[in-house]
């Protein structure tokens, strides 16, 4: 009998060790990790430089209050602003908290800086933004909301890539539009470049803030440090978490200069906002990504992975489509893929789902061609065996 809440459906595997692209279970079985803790361990497991930074920070100091300064926090924030369109950073401890901060700063900017009464946030169906009350309300999926009524007011959902629906949803109370450029949990669906450019123009015209949830697409995952770089636009606010600390739990809300006065002292905070250890993990993660050119490598490896998958799965009628950007890749199948995931585990390959019919591949950004070949081989074998079993 477990003492944990049954919030997760867990596979019957217990991991005890990881290094690079490999994980080992308590039976000593080795796995090739193509899910990276859901896009978290972007530099692979226990990356040397991040480990060393954490160990040396553990010897110095673990926590000081945000009533004082710590050099790591300024340095981590500057690394982020130097390498993005943002001018300021608020650190937190998870993706949901980062989105919560984004929603709060958008409303507060409209209400306190501009002095209007705007509060509505437009988000998209099939989106995923987190599990706090505000972020599950922002999420465009009913299953995360069941049993949690009443939900906070002021969230409107429209279909992705539907400009007419966005325009119809705008009112004089619209504060912000919030989206993932690639809906990851929702099935690996990309926002169209034209739609995103029009969204940016619409926001500028109407005084609406554009919030990008880059929690899964950020930190090199799509082949650029941030996915908005593919689209030729810049958000007013964006959020990061998953890949930013190599597995150390951290999140960040970043925004442009006009937003800065919206978060005056006392307006927002968190005890653990940017602790010395968390920010040591962030600094070492970003520095390693820049030194290793991780985004470029993800772009090249992503193209390789997608083309090899398309070649290997081309003849399988149970595969509908291989799609993605960089190393955020979906394989859409004709039916549910839950059993496929289990069969892949037995062969030592870890992947996850994105909705019922889509397998999602999220290898680390430094994955090698040999590892890609190994994963593609296992995927092709398992998917063709399942096809054979289904047609017999
Ligand atoms: C994972 C995720 C979140 C939530 O992050 P948590 O750290 O689990 O709170 C929000 N948005 C997107 C796009 C995500 O992938």
**Nearest 5 degrees, angle CA 124-CA 241-CA 26?**
115
CA of 314 relative to ligand 1 center, distance in Å:
32
Q: Which fold has domain 15-33+294-391?
A: 3.90.1150
Question: Would the pTM count as exceeding 0.95?
Answer: yes
Predicted pLDDT of residue 392: 73
Q: How many CB atoms lie within 10 A of CB 3?
A: 4
CA of 274 relative to ligand 1 center, distance in Å:
18
Predicted pLDDT of residue 54: 98
Q: How much of the chain is helix, strand and coil, in % rounded to 5?
A: 40, 20, 40
Summarised one tens digit per residue, pLDDT across range 270-293 is 999 999 999 999 999 999 999 999
Predicted pLDDT of residue 245: 98
Close Cβ partners of 27 (under 8 Å, ≥ 6 residues apart): none
Summarised one tens digit per residue, pLDDT across range 47-86 is 999 999 999 999 999 999 999 999 999 999 999 999 999 9
Q: Is 180 in the pocket of ligand 1 (CB under 6 A)?
A: yes
Structure tokens at 212: 């990008």
Low-confidence ranges of the chain (pLDDT < 70): none
Predicted pLDDT of residue 244: 98
Mutation probe of ligand 1 site: the residue of 35, 132, 185, 238 with most atoms within 8 A of C-beta: 185
Q: Is 191 in the pocket of ligand 1 (CB under 6 A)?
A: no
Summarised one tens digit per residue, pLDDT across range 121-138 is 999 999 999 999 999 999
Predicted pLDDT of residue 1: 85
Atom nearest to 130 CA in ligand 1 = 4
Asked if 329 and 309 count as a contact pair (C-beta separation under 8 A), the reply is yes
Domain boundaries, the chain: 15-33+294-391, 48-291
Predicted pLDDT of residue 371: 98
116-to-108, 176, 267 alpha-carbon distances in Å: 10, 13, 18
Asked if 301 and 307 count as a contact pair (C-beta separation under 8 A), the reply is no
Q: Is 95 in the pocket of ligand 1 (CB under 6 A)?
A: yes
80-to-74, 89, 219, 233, 243 alpha-carbon distances in Å: 10, 8, 10, 17, 13
Q: Does domain 48-291 have CATH number 3.30.110.30?
A: no
Summarised one tens digit per residue, pLDDT across range 134-165 is 999 999 999 999 999 999 999 999 999 999 99
Structure tokens at 53: 């930074």
């Amino acid at each position: 009998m477990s003492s944990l809440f049954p919030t997760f459906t867990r596979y019957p595997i217990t991991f005890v060790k990881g290094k690079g692209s490999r994980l080992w279970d308590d039976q000593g079985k080795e796995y090739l990790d193509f899910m990276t803790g859901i896009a978290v361990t972007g530099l692979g497991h226990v990356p040397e430089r991040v480990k060393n930074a954490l160990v040396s920070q553990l010897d110095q100091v673990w926590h000081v209050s945000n009533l004082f300064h710590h050099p790591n926090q300024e340095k981590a924030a500057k690394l982020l602003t130097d390498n993005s369109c943002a001018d300021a950073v608020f650190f937190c401890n998870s993706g949901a908290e980062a989105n919560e901060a984004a929603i709060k700063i958008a409303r507060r900017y409209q209400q306190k800086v501009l002095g209007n009464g705007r509060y509505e946030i437009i988000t998209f169906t099939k989106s995923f933004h987190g599990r706090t009350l505000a972020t599950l309300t922002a999420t465009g999926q009913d299953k995360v909301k069941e049993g949690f009524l009443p939900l906070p007011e002021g969230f409107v959902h429209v279909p992705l890539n539907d400009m007419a629906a966005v325009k119809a949803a705008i009112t004089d109370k619209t504060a912000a539009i919030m989206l993932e450029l690639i809906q990851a949990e929702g099935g690996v669906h990309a926002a169209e470049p034209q739609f995103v450019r029009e969204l940016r123009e619409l926001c500028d015209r109407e005084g609406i803030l554009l919030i990008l949830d880059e929690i899964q697409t950020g930190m090199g995952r799509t082949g650029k440090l941030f996915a908005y770089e593919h689209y030729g636009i810049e958000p007013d606010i964006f959020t990061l978490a998953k890949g930013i600390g190599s597995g150390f739990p951290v999140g960040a809300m970043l925004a442009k200069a006009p937003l800065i006065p919206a978060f005056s002292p006392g307006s927002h905070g968190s005890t653990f906002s940017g602790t010395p250890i968390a920010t040591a993990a962030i600094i070492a993660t970003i520095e390693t990504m820049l030194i290793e050119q991780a985004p470029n490598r993800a772009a090249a490896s992503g193209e390789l992975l997608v083309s090899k998958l398309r070649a290997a799965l081309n003849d399988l009628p149970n595969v509908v489509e291989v799609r993605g950007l960089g190393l955020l890749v979906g394989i859409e199948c004709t039916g549910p893929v839950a059993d496929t995931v289990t069969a892949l585990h037995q062969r030592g390959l870890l992947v996850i789902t994105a909705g019922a019919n889509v397998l999602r591949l999220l290898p680390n950004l430094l994955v090698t061609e040999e590892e890609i070949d190994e994963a593609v081989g296992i995927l092709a074998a398992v998917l063709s065996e399942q096809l054979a079993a289904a047609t017999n």
